[in-house]
Amino acid sequence: MRPPPNSLRARVLSVLLTTQPAQVPWRVLLRNTAAVVVPLAWGIGSGQLLAGIAVSVGALTTMYSDEPGPYRQRLERLLAVSAAGAIATFLGLTLNHHLPALLIAALAVGFAGALLVTFGDAIARVGMNAMVLLVVATDLPAPTLGAALQLTAEVAAGGLLLTLVSIAAWPLQRYGPERAALAAVYRGLAAMARGGTRDSAAALELTGGMTGLQHTLLGPHRARGAVMDYFGVMLELAERARLELTALESAEPGPQIAPLVQRESAQVLDAIAAAVTAGSDPQRSMHDALELLQSAERSAGEHEAALPEGPWRHFQALSGQLSAAVRNAERAATQGLRHPSDEDLQLPRALRPQSPLAILAANLTPASAAFRHAVRSAVCFSFALWLGRVLPVEHGYWLPMTVAIVLRADYAGTLSYGLLRVVGTVLGLLLTTALVHVLPANAWMHLAVLAVLCAGFRYFGTVHYGVAVACLTGLVVLLLAFAGEAPEPTVIARLIDTVIGSAVALAAYALWPTWEKGRTRETLAQMLLAYAAYLTALVGGGAEERRDGRQGARVARVNAEASVKRLLAEPATPPALAELAQSLLANGNRLARTIMTLEALLGHQAPPPLRAALGPFIRESAAALEEAAAALNTHREPHALPPIRAAQRQLARELAAGGGLAGELIGACDRLVDNINTLAHIVTRAPTHPPAIQPA
């Protein structure tokens, strides 16, 4: 990565032109579109058009919470979104004519909804949906309490309808999400075997996929049943296979072994992924692939004396893990009974859920970025709601709705969502104007076009938000046209409200910002500390401690990647800080591969004397990392580091006579010292004074 461009024009062009890979499976796209369109079709056919619109609105505001994952998790999340939306709708309907009470409610909903960002984007959508429906309800007619209850029930019915279609396949495809997540990880391992994930976006995707798979298979929302036990075993085998592939990559397998990994091993991994996805008896191709791998192993074994010992050992270990994965894939596909000797698996400590109340309580302080975001959102949301009432604009609720959607916890997100929302609304204006002049005055024709726009809104939401907003603008205009409003004034009013709302959100962030440049050092220091803990676990703990250390390092790395990405998108980021962050991240990834290689080596039945000899060196290396992390976090140069190079040379002399595994360990320890010294050097040359801009 490069430091961010200084030109605002360059940043704007980057926001407008950047796209992301599509993330919405076609099944999700179809069922979400159906949940919005079917109620409207029912309303047209039955003469209950307003009720159909209300149900469609409830489904529309809920659809982005329909994400892949365990059915239990999906059910709970969608029910939470629907319940929060129903409560907010009722508040908006009943307080609509009492502006002071409505503004107080907006403050409360805005603060609570934005604070949910503490639990991640998926949970934050619960709060955003409540904020959106609160202001949408202020534009709906509800003259009596009974009418308010009826409208609330109709909006909630839309969320419940989408929930039902989302989990409809649960009885028929009970383990569908789990199979999909597991297959994605094995496909990622196949790409790694072919040499396609080193220092690339695919590597980060595989890291995220394995973390997500652990949540899916071992988390609090996991499914139950005998087959889940086999899935858990296959997760552990995937972790071990990745360690061996990492060790092979570091050992440079050479022309004798590299083809076996790139062809046969990758073929077996792909076959496992296909068998898991199918959810039935594995196809013959998987058995053929495994036989091919075993045949290649036997053929190479005949010339074992001429093969490099280290890579050959890792390839044999990888073959054993793939054979075990094939056996478990067969049992998982047939949902047989688990072998009683297999150990029970649980979510690593780094991923185990904490008490939600404890997390919220810890964030109720101005030192918390989530708290500052919640205060900023609550004030800005309420102000925009008041502004929408006093300004002479149609559908003033679009103004606070824009604020709720645009205002994010980071500068880059706020800028991109604000800019893309304005641009998307302009595109939607042009699109809708063309549709109005081309489409015949036929309700069913309008409904068909609305379905296409709804599908476009859902599909492009993760690809390009501007295109998604263009589809949404046309969709909203058609919905209001069904309610009897002329399209042309609606489009103009939406454009005006969107521009004002985006300006309010950007101004609020400018007045009270939360800059990533004030937090990046701490996040990177946490990454180094996680690597130190992972190192220590290699010689100071058992299998569970090593797994926790590995997962903790993985989570810290993902957090650091996200922090650096936000840093590079901010204006006026000091070039020295940008260079520091990118250098630490790149060299930290190299350190992570070295530690994984060490774990793989120590897993090859390393004798106790060998582990004992490694212990002092590993602990000194971890201490050096901890000192570098402390120096980074406190803006100072590292104090005198432990003499890890001298310790490594002494260790090399002690192990020199061992050969074989000892030789590989010597090489890995040499790389470890290089990695740590490089990181310490990067920290040493970094500025020792805090950045000029601190978080508010």
| 695, part of any domain | no
Q: Give pLDDT, residue 658.
A: 62
Sign of the C-alpha dihedral, residues 109, 111, 116, 120?
positive
What is this structure's pTM?
0.81
Question: CA 432 to CA 31: how far, in whole Å?
Answer: 24
Does residue 201 share a domain with residue 154? no
Does residue 404 share a domain with residue 387? yes
| 302, part of any domain | yes
**pLDDT (tens digit, 9 = 90+) per residue, 29-61?**
999 999 999 999 999 999 999 999 999 999 999
Question: CA 565 to CA 115: how far, in whole Å?
Answer: 22
> Which of 48-57, 225-234, 466-475 is predicted least confidently?
225-234
Does residue 327 share a domain with residue 192? yes
**Which residues are CB-contacts of 598 (< 8 A; sequence separation ≥ 6)?**
535, 538, 618, 665, 668, 669, 672
Question: CA 625 to CA 307: how far, in whole Å?
Answer: 36
Does residue 143 share a domain with residue 189? no
Last residue of a domain, one of 482, 514, 546: 514
| 690, part of any domain | no
| 519, part of any domain | no
Given pLDDT bands bounded at 50, 70 and 90, which one contains residue 261? confident
| 566, part of any domain | yes
User: Which stretch of DSSP H or E encloses residue 364?
Assistant: none
Last residue of a domain, one of 351, 373, 405: 351
Residue 602, pLDDT > 50, answer yes
> Which of 103-112, 152-161, 548-557 is predicted least confidently?
548-557
Q: Give pLDDT, residue 345.
A: 58
Residue 676, pLDDT > 60, answer yes
Does residue 507 share a domain with residue 370? yes
Given pLDDT bands bounded at 50, 70 and 90, which one contains residue 324? confident
Given phi > 0 = left and psi -120 to 50 = alpha, else beta, which region is 346? beta
Q: Give pLDDT, residue 574.
A: 85
Higher pLDDT among residues 409 and 341, named by residue: 409
Q: Give pLDDT, residue 416.
A: 85
Other Cβ atoms within 10 Å of 265 Cβ, number: 30
How many domains does the chain divide into? 3
The stretch 230-258 carries a mean pLDDT of 85
Does residue 317 share a domain with residue 184? yes
Exposure string over 138-161, b if 16+ CB within 10 A, otherwise e: bbbebeeeeebeebbbbbbbbbbb
**pLDDT (tens digit, 9 = 90+) per residue, 439-469?**
787 889 989 999 999 999 999 988 999 999 9
Given pLDDT bands bounded at 50, 70 and 90, which one contains residue 385? very high
Which percentage of the chain shows pLDDT scores above 70?
89
Residue 340, pLDDT > 60, answer no
Most confident of 5-14, 39-48, 663-672: 39-48
**pLDDT (tens digit, 9 = 90+) per residue, 200-217?**
666 777 888 888 888 888
Q: What's the first-to-final CA gap in the chain, in angstroms?
A: 28
> Which of 99-113, 539-553, 612-626 is predicted least confidently?
539-553
What CATH code is carried by the domain that includes residue 540?
Answer: 1.20.58
**Which residues are CB-contacts of 472 (< 8 A; sequence separation ≥ 6)?**
424, 428, 453, 457
Q: Give pLDDT, residue 140.
A: 81
Question: CA 465 to CA 419: how far, in whole Å?
Answer: 10
The contacts found for 207-213 with CB under 8 angstroms, 24 or more apart, are 207/554, 207/557, 207/558, 208/558, 209/181, 209/184, 209/185, 210/185, 210/235, 210/238, 210/239, 210/242, 210/554, 211/351, 211/551, 211/554, 211/555, 211/558, 212/181, 213/181, 213/182, 213/184, 213/185, 213/238
Average pLDDT of the chain to the nearest whole number: 84
| 657, part of any domain | yes
- Written as six digits, the tokens of 314 are 């890792």
Q: Give pLDDT, residue 605.
A: 63
Does residue 376 share a domain with residue 331? no
Q: Give pLDDT, residue 196.
A: 62
Does residue 653 share a domain with residue 505? no
The stretch 569-597 carries a mean pLDDT of 89
**pLDDT (tens digit, 9 = 90+) per residue, 535-571?**
999 987 778 888 889 989 988 998 899 899 888 888 7
Does residue 345 share a domain with residue 361? no
Last residue of a domain, one of 351, 373, 399: 351
Q: Give pLDDT, residue 342.
A: 42
Most confident of 47-56, 331-340, 366-375: 47-56
DSSP, res 640 = P
- For residue 611, the enclosing domain spans 525-685
| 66, part of any domain | yes
Given pLDDT bands bounded at 50, 70 and 90, which one contains residue 129? very high
The stretch 61-71 carries a mean pLDDT of 88
Does residue 395 share a domain with residue 314? no
Q: Give pLDDT, residue 338.
A: 41
Does residue 322 share a domain with residue 188? yes
Given pLDDT bands bounded at 50, 70 and 90, which one contains residue 689? low
Closest to 404 in 3D by CA, of 671, 141, 88, 652: 88
| 49, part of any domain | yes
> Which of 108-122, 289-303, 484-498 is predicted least confidently?
289-303
The stretch 384-403 carries a mean pLDDT of 91
Which percentage of the chain shows pLDDT scores above 90?
33
Closest to 200 in 3D by CA, of 183, 182, 188, 186: 188
Q: Give pLDDT, residue 659.
A: 62
Does residue 445 share a domain with residue 317? no
